[in-house]
Amino acid sequence: MLFTYSPSGLQENWLNDTIISIVSSGMDAIAEGNAPTEWPDCIPLGKRAALQTRTGIRDRLITLYQSFGALEPDVRAQLQQAMLRQTALPEVLTDGLECVSITDFPKEVKVAVRSLFDFLFELLSELQVDGKCIRDIQYSAIYAELKDRICPFCGLGYFRGPGAPRHNLDHYMPISRYPFAGADLRNLPPICSECNSDFKGATDILYDAQGIRRMCSDPYNGPTYTISLAGSRLFEGESLKGIQYPQWVIGFLGPTQAQAATWDEIYKIRDRYIRDVLTPDFLPWLRHFAKWYVGAKGYDHDGQTIASSIPEYIELVIQDGWADRAFLKAQVFLLVSQECEDNERGETTRAWLRDVVEIVGAV
C-alpha cells in the first residue's frame, strides 16, 4: 500500500477483543468440564453496561458453546488455536505462520462462529459512544488525518466525507475464512469501492490460490511503497493510433518485496496503473506540460533547455501528494527527464521533447 492509516482510527476497537475474551474463557471452562460463566456476568465490568442488553450476543454465545462442547477434545483445541491465530493482529499479517480457516471445522461450529461474528460486525454500526457509532468514529478519525482523501490501497479512488453514504468496510482477512477477527477494526480498514468490490472481494490475503502462505502490509503500520517508473522506456511500448507509447515498468520501492507482491496480486496495481492511468493520460500530460512551458518560457528553446525545466514543473505544477494521480504524473516526467540525460537515448529524447513543445504547445 502507498501509506498507512492513523492509529487514532482504533480508539474504539474494543468490541471484538471483549467478545474473544468471553469466548476464550467459555471454551476453557467447557474443556475443563465446567459451565461457562452466564450472561451478563461474563462481560468485563467496563463494557457490561454497553453490552448486557445485547441478547443477540448472548444467544449466539450459547449456540457456539453447545457446538463447541460437541466437538472431540482435539478438535476443540484446534479451534481455540485457530481463534488465537486469527486474532493475532497485526502479527498474523507478516509472521508467515499457519493460520487455520474456519472452513476446516465441522459445519455446526462453523455456522455458530460465523453467526456470532457476523452479528458483531453489524453491531459496529449500532453501538454508540458519545452519540456516534463505532464504525463512524473509526472512519471520521482516519479521514480527519488523511493528507489527501485517497484510498491508500490504490491511490486512485477518492473517499467520501463523513456523513455521506458509507463505503463498505473491507474484511481485510475475509470473514468467510477468519471470522474471529470479523469485528476487529484492525481487520476493517476503509477502502475505496473499486478496490473492495472489483478487485479484492473475498480474496484470502494470507494464502494464495495454491495455498501458499504470503505476507501483506498492515493498514496501520505498513510497510508502504513508493512507485517508480525507473525501468520504463519511452519509445518501446505499444503503438496505438500511430503513437508509440512507453514500455511501462512499475517498481515498488520499499523495505521488502513480499508484501508488495501480495498487494499487487490482490489489487492488480500494475495493471490498473498502466491501463487506467499511464497509457490514457500520457498524451494529455505531455500536452499540459507543453502548454505550461510555452506559457512560462516561450518558444524557440532547444531540447536540453526544455528538459532542464522538468524539475521545476514537477515541483511547482504537479507538486507532491496523491490527489489527481500526482504521484504517477511526477514519475512520468521524472522518467522523461532521466531519458533526456541518458548517454544513448538522450539526444533522441531531447529532440522529441522539443517537437512536443513546439507542435503541441502551439495548438
pLDDT digits (tens, 9 = 90+) for 167-217: 777 799 999 999 999 999 999 999 999 999 999 999 999 999 999 999 999
**Residues 51-62: pLDDT tens digits?**
999 999 999 999
pTM of the model: 0.93
Residue (of 12, 126, 119) closest to 63 by Cα position:
119
Residue keyed to cell 455446526: 108
Start-to-end C-alpha separation, the chain: 39
What pLDDT does residue 121 have? 98
Question: What is the signed CA dihedral for 177, 182, 184, 185, rounded to 10 degrees?
Answer: 100
Q: DSSP secondary structure string, 132-146?
A: EEHHHHHHHHHHHT-
Residue keyed to cell 498507512: 4
Residue 329 to residue 323: CA distance in whole angstroms: 11
Residue 41 to residue 186: CA distance in whole angstroms: 27
Q: Exposed/middle/buried for 359, CB within 10 Å: 0-12, 13-18, 19+? A: exposed
**Residues 20-39: pLDDT tens digits?**
999 999 999 999 999 999 99
Residue 102 to residue 82: CA distance in whole angstroms: 8
Indicate the DSSP class of residue 93. G
Helix (H) or strand (E) holding 243: strand 243-244
Low-confidence ranges of the chain (pLDDT < 50): none
Instruction: Sort strands 251-253 and 132-133 into parallel, antiparallel or unpaired.
Output: unpaired
